[in-house]
Amino acid sequence: MKKFLVLGLLAGKICFGATITVAAAADLRFVLQNLTALYKKEYPHDNFKFIYGASGNFYNQIRQGYPIDVFMSADTRYPELLYKQGFAYKPRPYAIGKLAIYTTKNMDISNPKSALLKAQKIAIANPRVAPYGIAGISTLHCYHIYNQVANKIVYGENIIQTAQYVASGNVPVGLVSYSLLLAPQLGLKGKYELIPQPCYKPIVQGATVIKSTKDEKASMRFFNFLYSPQAIAIWKSFGYGIPR
Amino acid sequence: MDSEPFLISFELSTITMLILGIVGIGISYFLAFKRSIIVDILEPIIMSPLVLPPTVLGFYILEIFGVSGSVGKFLNHFDLKLVFNFWGLLIGSIIYSLPFSVSPIIAGFRAIPKSLIEASYTLGKSKFHTLLKVIIPNAKYSIISALVLVFSHTIGEFGVVLMVGGDIPGKTRTASIAIFDYVQELNYKDANISALILFSIAMISLIFLQILKRLQER
């Protein structure tokens, strides 16, 4: 009886494809919806479960045995560390993120520096776990205003929570990922302006397949898809740069 | 709206309630009628989740039961994992809600007149028989309150389940975590519906407890 059950489950897997659980950096919340829609056109039998959060949190959880298949970080450091520690296969960068200043208030943000100085509060992701938070803090240093605004910073747990602080009107201005703002859910709520590039290091984002994956083939299938020409078109449409 | 988080919450709360019903009676029986240094040490330990931050509990559970934790390492040999799955949620919930089970039941047991219990012994009934036929029926309101409290408290858990469960859709994403996610996605509609359901559950259980109290006073 048990044997048949196992056979049945196996058969089910072959017929119905796999469920791929992806832990993804929060800046990917909207772009991945488009990406997977495209993926499912090619592999209609694969299903997805997405968990969005701060890359650093995922890094810690994966080391504790977090049962996911693919990890899409907002930097390359965390996937590289997991690879070196034997938790993951060799990572590869899939996109380069950009930072933007975002507001839903009636304020001028064409000069980010003066907007940040004027704002009563500034939303930034927690730099200890969120790579976009590191970019946010280095922007403040680059403008030489960190010491003046340090006590106005409101830290979000991850970059989408940070954006939500601004979108809800609770914080007047935030430094968030450009990709989130290109999604209508957030972008249409306010206005945004890219932060000039030399102010922060390019946010190169890497992905990796976790070694404890239950279905390596399916995980690799999705991992490889991230670098396909169709996927690159989606990355670009959400404002990401493409790593060489 | 996704109903899965609610199913997970209800499943978790029901199982936690059943386990803590039995465990709570056992522990309370051990603690309620004794006066010793052991009781004075054990009671604060059992009550500690009332005042401890959920992150402290979550941290310790991960440290102990995680893959690199002492117990977790041992269980790994048998391919057993106790964090980031339903078992992790259950362990977390049982520890977190333990005081909500023990505290009302101990109070109920201690309120029973000693003479009643002693009469049962004098009539030659065993300790177990006395527990089953005298102590538990006399503390039934306290036990029911404990069950209701544990159920609703488990539904309301957030910090421990987030840390130990890891917010995995369909596995460890409970209703309270789903609300957190909905708000982050600016999905206020689903956040509203979910929040209203949880609010109603909380109110219903508190009103039920109030009715129990009145019944008990009569």
Question: Given a cut of 70, is residue A206 above it in pLDDT?
Answer: yes
- Classify A204 as helix, strand or coil: strand
Is the Cα dihedral A79, A80, A82, A83 positive or negative? Answer: positive
Partner-chain residue, chosen from A49, A64, A168, that has the shortest CB–CB distance to B168:
A49
Partner-chain residue, chosen from B67, B168, B186, that has the shortest CB–CB distance to A64:
B67
To the nearest whole percent, how much of chain A has pLDDT over 90? 88
Q: How many CB atoms lie under 10 A from the CB of residue B77?
A: 7
- Burial of residue A133, with CB atoms counted within 10 A of its CB: 0-12 exposed, 13-18 middle, 19 or more buried: buried
- Classify B36 as helix, strand or coil: coil
What is the per-residue pLDDT for B218? 78
ipTM over 0.85 threshold: no
Query: How far apart are the CA of A65 and the nearest CA of chain B, in angstroms?
Result: 6
A and B: number of Cβ contacts within 8 A: 49
Q: Which domains does chain B have, with CATH numbers?
A: 4-53+84-217 (1.10.3720.10)
Are A140 and A149 a contacting pair, CB within 8 Å? yes
What architecture does CATH give domain A2-96+204-237?
Answer: 3-Layer(aba) Sandwich (3.40)
- For range A122-140, the mean pLDDT: 96
Query: How far apart are the CA of A161 and the nearest CA of chain B, in angstroms?
Result: 5
Q: In the structure, what pLDDT confidence band is assigned to residue A13 with cuts at 50, 70 and 90?
A: very low
Instruction: Give the pair of three-digit tokens for residue A92.
Output: 């590869």
pTM above 0.90, yes or no: no
Contact: A49, B68; criterion CB under 8 Å: no
- Classify A92 as helix, strand or coil: strand
Contact: A160, B84; criterion CB under 8 Å: no
CA separation (Å) from B18 to B22, B50, B144, B147? 7, 20, 11, 8
Partner-chain residue, chosen from A50, A64, A160, that has the shortest CB–CB distance to B184:
A160
**For an interface test with A, which of B83, B163, B184 has the most A Cβ atoms less than 10 Å from its Cβ?**
B184
Query: How far apart are the CA of A183 and the nearest CA of chain B, in angstroms?
Result: 11
Task: Tell me which CATH code domain A97-199 carries.
Answer: 3.40.190.10
Query: How far apart are the CA of A14 and the nearest CA of chain B, in angstroms?
Result: 21
Q: Which residues of A touch B83 (CB under 8 A)?
A: 64-65
CA separation (Å) from B175 to A29, A47, A166, B154, B161? 20, 22, 25, 11, 11
- Classify A137 as helix, strand or coil: helix
| Nearest-by-CA chain B residue for A24 | B168
What is the per-residue pLDDT for A16? 61
| Nearest-by-CA chain B residue for A61 | B166
Q: Which residues of A touch B8 (CB under 8 A)?
A: none
Query: Where are the domains positioned within chain A?
Result: 2-96+204-237, 97-199
Low-confidence ranges of chain B (pLDDT < 70): none
Q: Which residues of B touch A188 (CB under 8 A)?
A: none
CA separation (Å) from B86 to A59, A71, B161, B171? 21, 21, 10, 7
d(CA B196, CA A85): 44
The more confident residue out of A12 and A93 is A93
Question: Given a cut of 80, is residue A8 above it in pLDDT?
Answer: no
Residues of A at the B interface (Cβ-Cβ below 8 Å)?
21, 26, 29, 49-53, 61, 63-68, 158, 160-161, 164, 167-168, 185-186
What is the per-residue pLDDT for B73? 84
Contact: A65, B166; criterion CB under 8 Å: no
| Nearest-by-CA chain B residue for A48 | B169
The pLDDT tens digits of the residues spanning A155-188 come to 999 999 999 999 999 999 999 999 999 999 899 9
Partner-chain residue, chosen from A26, A65, A186, that has the shortest CB–CB distance to B66:
A65
- Burial of residue B52, with CB atoms counted within 10 A of its CB: 0-12 exposed, 13-18 middle, 19 or more buried: middle
What is the per-residue pLDDT for A145? 95
The pLDDT tens digits of the residues spanning B152-193 come to 999 999 999 999 999 999 999 999 999 999 998 889 999 999
Contact: B66, A185; criterion CB under 8 Å: no
Are B123 and B131 a contacting pair, CB within 8 Å? no
Question: Given a cut of 50, is residue A11 above it in pLDDT?
Answer: no
Q: Residue A96's closest CA among A201, A5, A189?
A: A201
Asked which of A9-18, A101-110, A151-160, B106-115 is least confident by mean pLDDT, the reply is A9-18
Q: In the structure, what pLDDT confidence band is assigned to residue A197 with cuts at 50, 70 and 90?
A: confident
To the nearest whole percent, how much of chain A has pLDDT over 70? 93
Contact: B83, A65; criterion CB under 8 Å: yes
